[in-house]
Structure 1
């Protein structure tokens, strides 16, 4: 089917957004490699998250339009921040934990980059869910919540290892309590609801799928072979779980 002149003009206008997304993705990958090779990897955390957020917003702007992309990102950031603020104050819904002073600036004891991470990966997980559950509704919310929580199988062990936050009580998964993952499922579902509401249940985007997949691959390789000491358990758990969402998302994306 031929595009109209209006559609062609819109595509040309949004071309720089896709380019920015690709450049941000490549820069984030470079920073992740540098972090893995550095004696102080925590110094790269803030920059990696900023690039993650920029990549997600750029790809979403190309696929959904700038206004819906920014609104969806803002909704995910605010939802994640509110959950983190409640979490550090009350211990609900993740369990008792606190942030160290490594990540800065902080608002109410919550690092700003943590909220940005909820936004960036929230958009990526939503795109995965949109591919897996194209009809939308609760199936999409559940798929997105699972996809986003799968990422935390990598995130929490890595951040605890770097001393970015600590848990009040040791848990069964690398010192992380299982209540944390129950909390992630709940908050991730709220993030999916918020993103879906402001984006009008936007469809999947291969740029955002690439972002989700790159995070899965980079984290798997890092835990399997780069970190000292390596952690095969986390590599397998996170890699298989994120892959279980990424693989069907790509398969359905290419069938469209």
Structure 2
């Protein structure tokens, strides 16, 4: 089973982050720059592992990155397609976004990492090509349901201005917004990669990215007493 170098570093950073958070209980908070550096490197390595596995032309993943960026920027300005929310500035680094509210710079890349990982997982299942994009989008939306209680909770990366009934106070619109945007991104990758026989043997990369990220978030959230 092939594990790209970036994937190994990604998992190692997650383990380091969990151990560091656990150690904070005994030695006090770690310097802020360490937490921020680990977070940035983890997203960067996750993106690198996913892009290497996707095997698509640069313009395809750049276009998908643009979809994620545009969806978040428009979402902050209008409440569509995710619902009304705002970032708190705790996700570093941030720049001024719509209305002057913080916009995390790593956000579109983290979105690309998760959407891409979901596509890699679905692609390995040999589904009909027409089903790849909507199924990848659905998996991304379901994964987001699991992240919301931690990222909008103890980690405090964002808050919902009009809370809904889904985990973490997310509105129902957020689920469908994730499904739509991730489906659009996945549709950019479908035609290029579907005929590549090797692509069907790389689903483990997507699973490792998703499971590692999910476990990392939940363990860190639990250690900080909020989950």
TM-score when scaled to structure 1? Answer: 0.68
Distance 1:142 1:175 in 2: 25
SS at 2:86's partner residue?
A: strand
The residue aligned with 1:181 is: 175
1:81 lines up with 2:81 in the alignment = no
Is residue 13–residue 38 contact of structure 2 (8 Å, CA) maintained in 1? no
Unmatched runs of 5 consecutive residues or more in structure 2: none
Per-residue CA shift, 1:144-176, capped at 9, x if unaligned?
A: 112111221132221212222121112223322
Deviations along 1:86-121, one digit per CA (max 9) or x if unpaired, are 100110011111112222232635311111111111
Distance 1:156 1:34 in 2: 23
SS in 2 for 1:132: coil
RMSD across aligned C-alpha pairs, in angstroms?
Answer: 3.0
Structure with bigger RCO (C-alpha 8 Å, 6+ apart): 2
Q: Give the drift of 1:51.
A: 1.6
1:34 aligned residue: 20
What residue number does 1:114 align with? 107
Name the residue aligned to 2:163: 170
Alignment counterpart, residue 94 of structure 1, candidates 56, 74, 82? 82
Matched length: 208
Give per-residue Cα distances to partners, 1:110-144, cap 9 Å, x unaligned. 3111111111112111111102344322x111221
Aligned to 2:123: 130
In structure 1, the residue corresponding to 2:110 is in which secondary structure? helix
Normalising by structure 2, report the TM-score.
0.76
Distance 1:37 1:181, change over 3 A: farther
**Structure 1 segments unaligned to the other structure (5+ residues):** 1-14, 231-256
SS at structure 2 position matched to 1:122? helix
1:193: which partner in 2? Answer: 187
Per-residue deviation at 1:48? 2.6
- Compared with structure 1, are the counterparts of its residues 147 and 116 closer, same or farther at alpha carbon in structure 2 (3 Å cutoff)? same
